[in-house]
Amino acid sequence: MARLRLRVGSILTADMADHTVTAQVAASEDIIADLAIALAAPDQMPASAGRRRVAQAISLMRDRHRESVMLASLARELGCSCRSLQAAFHEAGHATPQDVLAGIRLDAARIRLLSGGHSVTTSLDSGISHLGRFAAAYRRRFGERPAQTLSART
């Protein structure tokens, strides 16, 4: 999946570097972000109740990544406790629910940066609330600062 993320990013960067952002590209930005988010974490056909719960949780996180998503409310909506949701993520081979949500948000922010017309701070519309922590997490995940991603487009 990392290779796919990099290829989509490089396609967007190369494609956008030679063209001005048109209304069509701006309209397709959310579609591209949704596609990248959907492809960011591997989903297998859930075989158990725990796996189904994880798949449902990830789907809800993708849909609501711009909102404040609380683990307790997510677990309540899925009809389980916080602890059982965390255990289900662990058993499915995922990081914690919070780490999965952070990854979804970082991927959405990267797509917004690569698609143009956004500054680093407007990329915080992806549900990220602290610029300093965002920049550090972004660099760990993608190997560059958000400003470098943005400047690569120009």
Give the distance from CA 104 to its chain's centroid.
2
Residue 97 has pLDDT above 90, yes or no: yes
Q: pLDDT value at position 111?
A: 85
Q: pLDDT value at position 21?
A: 47
Q: pLDDT value at position 125?
A: 63
Kindly give, in sequence order, each residue whose CB lies less than 8 Å from that of residue 115, ignoring residues fewer than 6 positions away.
Answer: 12, 16, 21, 25, 26, 29, 32, 33
pTM of the model: 0.65
89-116 average pLDDT score: 88
The tens digit of pLDDT for each residue in 31-52 reads 566 666 666 655 545 467 888 8
Kindly give, in sequence order, each residue whose CB lies less than 8 Å from that of residue 32, ignoring residues fewer than 6 positions away.
Answer: 8, 12, 111, 115
In words, the CATH class of domain 2-152 is: mainly alpha
Long-range contacts at 132-138 (CB < 8 A, ≥ 24 apart): 134/106, 134/109, 137/102, 137/106, 138/106, 138/109, 138/110
Domain ranges (residues) in the chain: 2-152
Q: pLDDT value at position 90?
A: 93
The tens digit of pLDDT for each residue in 1-40 reads 454 455 556 666 555 544 444 444 544 565 566 666 666 6
Q: pLDDT value at position 20?
A: 46
Tell me the residue type at 148. Answer: Q
